[in-house]
Amino acid sequence: MILIVDFGSQTAHLIGRRLRQIGTTVEYVHPEDAIEEAKKLKPNGIILSGGPSSVYDKGAPTVSKEIFKLGVPILGICYGWQLMAKLLGGNIKNTTKEYGPEKVTIEKPLGILGKLPKKQFTVIVSHGDTVVTLPEGFRKTASTKTVAFTAVQNIEKHLYGVQFHPEAHHTEYGLTILQNFAAICKEIYKPISLDPEKIINDIAETAANQKVICAVSGGVDSTVAAFLIGKAIGKNLIPVYVESGLMRQGTDERVKEIFSKLVRADLVIIDARKRFLNKLKGITDSEQKRKIIGRLYVEIFQEIALQHPEAKFLGQGTIYSDVIESKGSKHASRIKSHHNVGGLPKDMHLKLLEPLRNFYKDEVREIGRLAGLPEEIVMQQPWPGPGNAINIMGEVTEKRLAQVKQADEIVVEEMKKADLYNKVFECFAVMTDAYSTAVKGDERFYGEVVAIRSIDTADLMTAEWSRIPHEILARMSSRIVNEVPEISRVVYDITTKPPATVRWE
């Protein structure tokens, strides 16, 4: 077993996911409990995760130096490496920041960097602090153009540090690096597979023949969750689709089709478009929007629950990226409150049933596929619960909602015409709340700027912007400024995650 000390990184859970992917058993522990748990569990190796803190912050999470005397290999990742360096006598400074993809050059192909196919490869980095002086006994094994000690090792004590994130999907050879560390730990691999039958059995045991009100949106997460819950409890499933007015065009029709042909349950549709617009009136802060939407969804589900007093559970398609971005672990930083996590009231009467809570998007797709859902369902583009409310910077009005829906439909249409829609993870339009001058009909026009966002990712924890051909972007731009009222220009977002998130809010 490998013990992961969780310092609150957005990708800390992803480390364990990657290790489980290669068949390694993992356990998580908070840093304040690390030494006690390590002595009790006797792991073959320890990984110190990244985290949002600086090692010099007051109250920054730390571990006892005794952990380095346990005689097991230890890998420090980002903050974990900085903390290792600090505790062992190195120096860290806030001098060189790196965010997003960077090129790493291997200088000594040793230890966890041994036997990689290339000496230079792309990694994902996200740090403000940097180790500038190595502790005694460490030697440099790799660097970037701005950071000297991107990878290091103390071969005698089997201590390793990397300033990048090998767990990130977009880090080349990241899985190989983790495999190399597992091999140094003398881990015995036990390959595992995603098993929908186990999830279904767990749901059946938890729900115990009680009715479940299940929030559905037509998206892959809620559809897979509802499908599994339906398999477990049959007619006790009450799927509820709330028409908030914030979804993509045609979502209601897709939901009706799913629950008439695939899940076969009596779908409840609630038209709440006016309620959502009224609640969002005058609200410009993105966190407020998300929480208002979350509370309103739950209010509606509780109203439905009054009509079904025998219902005890609220089923949701919450996945792990929702949880971790909403401050899902003790030392994590809140990136944004997902409506189904950060927006839930403390006095909610229904118990939550979230069968996909510990899985990433690509795992959810595979679970749905293995459970028998068709490919067009499991591979459809995701759409967030707050929908277009978080694709509109600033206030959500009926006018701006109509604008973003029209612009988004143009993006989707052009991607489908170019046979690109199913080749990217997600594409959509954004009302930026930025304004610029244009010339329309030989007259000055001052209107809002629309952004197009398209990304490629496996698990939503890291993402690359899609390389859409210029002629396709040109058609989108031309149509949007001509067909969508009061739009002055169109821009294309080419920011990776990190540092950006997928959505603008």
Q: pLDDT confidence of 345, banded at 50, 70, 90?
A: low
Residue 333 has what pLDDT? 42
Give 224-233 pLDDT, tens digit per residue.
999 999 999 9
Whether 185 has a pLDDT exceeding 90, the answer reads yes
Domain covering 2-184: architecture: 3-Layer(aba) Sandwich (3.40)
CATH fold group of domain 397-492: GMP Synthetase; Chain A, domain 3 (3.30.300)
pLDDT value, residue 338: 42
Q: DSSP state, 39?
A: H
Told to judge if 167 belongs to the known catalytic residues of this protein, a careful annotator would answer: yes
Q: Are 191 and 23 a contacting pair, CB within 8 Å?
A: yes
Which alpha helices (H) appear in 210-337, and where do they start and end? 220-233, 251-261, 273-280, 286-307, 320-325
Half-sphere exposure of 200 (CA within 13 A, CB side): 17
| CATH superfamily name and code, 196-378 | HUPs (3.40.50.620)
246 within 8 A of 277, measured Cβ to Cβ: no
Measured CA angle at 43 (ends 186, 22), to 5 deg = 50
Q: What is the mean pLDDT of residues 288-293?
A: 92
Please say if 78 is a catalytic residue.
yes
Please say if the pLDDT value at position 327 is more than 80.
no
461, with CB counted inside 10 A (0-12, 13-18, 19+), is: buried
366 as an active site residue: the answer is: no
Strand order in the sheet with 2-5: 26-29, 2-5, 45-48, 74-77, 159-162, 151-154, 139-143, 98-106, 120-127
Q: Which of 13, 102, 127, 165 is catalytic?
A: 165
**Do 125 and 165 meet the contact criterion of CB atoms below 8 Å apart?**
yes
pLDDT tens sequence across 54-113: 998 888 999 999 999 999 999 999 999 999 999 999 999 987 788 889 999 999 898 999
pLDDT surpasses 50 at 339: no
Q: Find out whether 394 and 238 touch, Cβ atoms under 8 Å.
A: no
Equal fold, 2-184 vs 397-492: no
Going by pLDDT thresholds of 50, 70 and 90, the confidence category of residue 460 is: confident
**Residues 131-138, mean pLDDT to the nearest whole number:** 95
Residue ranges per structural domain of the chain: 2-184, 196-378, 397-492
Would you report the helix, strand and coil content of the chain in percent, each value rounded to 5?
A: 35, 25, 40
* pLDDT tens track for 362-402: 889 999 999 999 998 999 898 888 999 999 999 999 999 99
pLDDT at 21 exceeding the cut of 90: no
Cβ-based neighbours of 24, under 8 Å, separated by 6 or more: 1, 2, 182, 187, 189, 190
From the candidates 78, 185, 214, 427, give the one annotated as an active-site residue. 78
At 213-222, the pLDDT tens digits run 999 988 899 9
Structure-token pair, residue 381: 């583009």
Residue 250 burial (10 A CB sphere; 0-12, 13-18, 19+): exposed
Question: What band does 309 get if pLDDT is binned at 50, 70 and 90?
Answer: confident
Statement: residue 150 has pLDDT above 50: yes
Q: How many DSSP H helices and E strands does the chain contain? A: 14, 20
Average predicted confidence (pLDDT) for the chain: 90
The backbone torsions φ and ψ at residue 143, rounded to the nearest 5 degrees and listed phi first, read: -150, 165
* 102, 167, 354, 448: the active-site residue: 167
